[in-house]
Amino acid sequence: MPVASLKAQADPAQRVALKSLIFEKLLQAFIIAEKLRDDSLKVVGMHAVDADEDFSNPSTTMSASLNQILYGPPGTGKTYHTKARAVGILEGLTDEEVADKYEREEISSLFDEYRKTGQVEFVTFH
pLDDT tens digit sequence for 43-73: 656 666 655 555 555 544 445 566 677 777 8
pTM over 0.75: no
Q: Which of 5-9, 33-37, 68-72, 106-110 has the lowest mean pLDDT?
A: 5-9
One domain, residues 95 and 50: yes
Residue 107, burial from CB neighbour count under 10 angstroms (0-12, 13-18, 19+)? buried
One domain, residues 56 and 2: no
Q: Could you give the number of structural domains in the chain?
A: 2
One domain, residues 6 and 63: no
One domain, residues 29 and 84: no
One domain, residues 73 and 113: yes
Q: Which of 35-39, 57-61, 101-105, 122-126 has the lowest mean pLDDT?
A: 57-61
One domain, residues 126 and 66: yes
Q: Which domain holds residue 71?
A: 46-126
32-60 burial: b if 16+ Cβ within 10 Å, else e: eeeeeeeeebeeeeeebeeeeeebeeeee
Distance CA 15, CA 80 (A): 48
Question: What number is the average pLDDT over the span 2-28?
Answer: 77
One domain, residues 122 and 94: yes
The residues, ordered by sequence, that sit 6+ positions from 93 with a Cβ below 8 Å of its Cβ are 87, 101
How remote is the C-alpha of 15 from its chain's centroid?
Answer: 36
> What percent of the chain has pLDDT above 90?
21
Q: Tell me if 86 sits within 8 A of 121, measured CB to CB.
A: no
One domain, residues 26 and 84: no
One domain, residues 1 and 55: no
87: pLDDT strictly greater than 90: yes
* DSSP letter, residue 47: E
One domain, residues 50 and 39: no
pLDDT at 26: 82
One domain, residues 9 and 53: no
